[in-house]
Amino acid sequence: MRISHFVQIATVMMLLLAGTASAAIIGVGEGGRIIDAPAVIDDDSVFCSAFSEQGECEMLGFDERQGVGLANNLSVDQGVLASGDIDSHMIFLNTMGRVSAKLTVDWYFDGKIIGVMSDRNGKLEALASAILGAEGTRYPDWFKLRGLENNDWYKVDGNKLTFHSYVKEPGDWIRVVTRAMIPDTSAIFLSFCLLALLGWRQCLADTNDL
């Protein structure tokens, strides 16, 4: 095999490794479900029972925009995020009409949670949707009680979010911001060098066999 073939393989590996830079929802506990980003994410569009075969109410979550470089300060419940690359995720519980539901669900991300937007009327979320919202998803402006009320809460522990929501009308939506996963460029470079070395040795072996 020629060395150029090994270089091509190494290049493909570098591209694959570089493509793992974004952080995502990687797991969810009982009562939750990870979904694809919907076309619309308002109070009358996506309901908690829509994805369950048994029609049971589930808390839903999806990944939004990934690898966003902050150009301006971003307000979250914890204060202000001023710099760095971030990923965004939406978690919500929403029932059809005035049906009530109460769930506590654990959500896991492959990046550290650095902020949550959960204010009572969803103003923080609405202000950030233009830069953090999923591409192709239409988001509403803030409205009364879109965020968390007195009976709702969340807890952050590293890359784990525990979210307790009690809803009737409207639902509860929160945005979770995680630190973007940056690929280890040194590991990528070493992989490239190793494959190039193997290709060089194979080339010498092929030459000696002639």
Q: Which residue has the tokens 């030459």?
A: 207
Whether the full predicted model's pTM is greater than 0.85, yes or no, is no
Claim to verify: residue 170 and residue 75 sit in the same structural domain: yes
Claim to verify: residue 56 and residue 15 sit in the same structural domain: no
What is the predicted pLDDT for the residue at 204? Answer: 56
Claim to verify: residue 48 and residue 145 sit in the same structural domain: yes
Claim to verify: residue 10 and residue 75 sit in the same structural domain: no
Claim to verify: residue 100 and residue 156 sit in the same structural domain: yes
Q: End-to-end CA distance of the chain: give it in Å, rounded.
A: 13
pLDDT at 88 over 90: yes
Claim to verify: residue 15 and residue 99 sit in the same structural domain: no
What is the predicted pLDDT for the residue at 6? Answer: 46
pLDDT at 43 over 60: yes
Q: How far apart are CA 8 and CA 14, in angstroms?
A: 10
Claim to verify: residue 175 and residue 210 sit in the same structural domain: no
Q: What is the full DSSP assignment across 102-159?
A: EEEEEEEESS-EEEEE--TT-HHHHHHHHHHSPTT-B-PPP-TT-S--TT-EEEEETT
Q: How far apart are CA 175 and CA 209, in angstroms?
A: 62
Claim to verify: residue 130 and residue 110 sit in the same structural domain: yes
* Number of domains, the chain: 2
Is the model more confident about 188 or about 71?
71
pLDDT digits (tens, 9 = 90+) for 92-147: 999 887 788 899 999 999 999 999 999 999 999 999 999 999 999 999 888 888 88
Q: How far apart are CA 66 and CA 107, in angstroms?
A: 17
Claim to verify: residue 8 and residue 40 sit in the same structural domain: no
> Two tokens at 65?
């925009």
Domain that holds residue 165: 22-182
Claim to verify: residue 71 and residue 146 sit in the same structural domain: yes
Estimate the crossing angle of helix 3-18 against helix 185-208, to 10 degrees: 160
Claim to verify: residue 188 and residue 173 sit in the same structural domain: no
Claim to verify: residue 134 and residue 193 sit in the same structural domain: no
